[in-house]
Amino acid sequence: MYDVAERSGVSIATVSRVYRNPDSVRAQTRERVLEAARELGYVPSGNARGLASRTTGVLGLCFPDYADPDAEADAENDSGADDAAMLYSDQIIRGMERAARRHGYALLIAASLQGGPESLVAKVAGRVDGFAVLAQTVPTEDLEVISRRLPVVMLAGPREIDHLDHLVVANAAGERELTRHLIEDHGLRRLAFVGGDPDSPDAEARFRGFREACGDAGLPVPEAPDLRTGMMTRAEGARAAETLLDRGGERPDAMVFANDQMAVGALRALERREVRVPEDMAVTGFDGIPLSRIVRPSLTTVRQPIRQLGEQAVELLVQRLADPSREPVSLELPVSLARRASCGCG
């Protein structure tokens, strides 16, 4: 910047003004400065700018590291063991990037590794004006500290820190509505719920919704999912479907999966076993991923507005940046039931 100032015969203040507030500089002077900047290959330092102005123009996102980065990514394996988590994060990233851009922010993303003062989380926190955190990616105590200095919004999961803005989708309500549909509209009675990791708040909330619907309908309310898988992937879903088929006792007439990936895997498995869907068995998912529309039979599911989750997160951050004293909010984004072929609709 000093070089640019010298070369164009002005002071550094003028150079700064050319970038910060072009109208306050005479057009002729401005041109001289820009010309010099071009010749010198001048790139304003975001660091210095941020330091002086106490703002970065960047928002952040911490999400779980969906895969070991050291694991060899073999080209042949496109089965996507970690598809579920990745799709989820991708959508949030998209949503946030969009909304951030609309507000003139860039987006800094980092999958959180283990904590410690020199973790990526700390790096993100130090370089942004505010950021969003996917549940269970950052230790609560770190968040506690960081959130005293800048806006943080928590996505999904329980609201661990009550002075933070918090955003969830209506997992329970959605699953409840879906289950009600199966019971009341299709007359199904023997529903099997396939959950995921007990640590997944989303999956657990969905199970809660499932239970509520069972209770509403006067059906027995299960204590725990009929089956839990670890990964919530297609492969696990397929295995779960087979396990349920092979189990003794009366065969269920519907399999309710905690997400779409598993449900899609189940559809394949049922096809192999020559169990007709939906005639012999209804199958449902949760999420509304693109694939759910494309598989045959198309999958009845609950559309989750993941991208909006990201967009809304940015909105909350921007709001709080504008008014730091605003009361913390906890929003639940609505979901919508997609009735399709796999439950007997459409």
**What residues between 90 and 149 interact with its own copies by CB under 8 A?**
90, 93-94, 97-99, 101-102, 104, 106-111, 113, 117-118, 120, 122-127, 145-146, 148-149
Residue 27 in contact with its own copies, rule: CB under 8 A: no
User: 242-246 — which CB contacts under 8 Å span 24+ positions?
Assistant: 242/269, 242/273, 244/192, 244/194, 245/270, 245/273, 245/275
What is d(CA 222, CA 299) in angstroms, rounded to the nearest whole number? 24
Interactions with DNA, residue window 34-93 (CB under 7 A) = 42, 44-45, 47-49, 51-54
Nearer to DNA among residue 43 and residue 71 (C-beta) = 43
168-227: contacts with its own copies (CB under 8 A): none
313 binds its own copies (CB under 8 A): no
Query: Which residues fall within 8 angstroms of residue 244, CB to CB, at 6 or more apart?
Result: 192, 194, 226, 227, 251, 252, 255
Q: Measured at the alpha carbon of residue 311, what is the angle toward residues 306 and 312, in degrees to the nearest 5? A: 95
75, 187, 230, 246: residue in contact with its own copies (rule CB under 8 A): 75
Answer with the entry of its own copies, DNA, none that 336 interacts with (C-beta below 5 to 8 A by kind).
its own copies
Burial class of 13 by CB neighbour count within 10 A (0 to 12, 13 to 18, 19+): exposed
67 binds, among its own copies, DNA, none (CB under 5 to 8 A by kind): its own copies
Residue span binding DNA (CB under 7 A) among the ranges 12-20, 190-198, 230-238, 292-300:
12-20
Contact in structure between 135 and 277 (CB atoms under 8 Å)? no
Question: Where along the sequence are the contacts to DNA (CB under 7 A)?
Answer: 1-2, 9-14, 16-17, 19-20, 24-26, 28-29, 42, 44-45, 47-49, 51-54
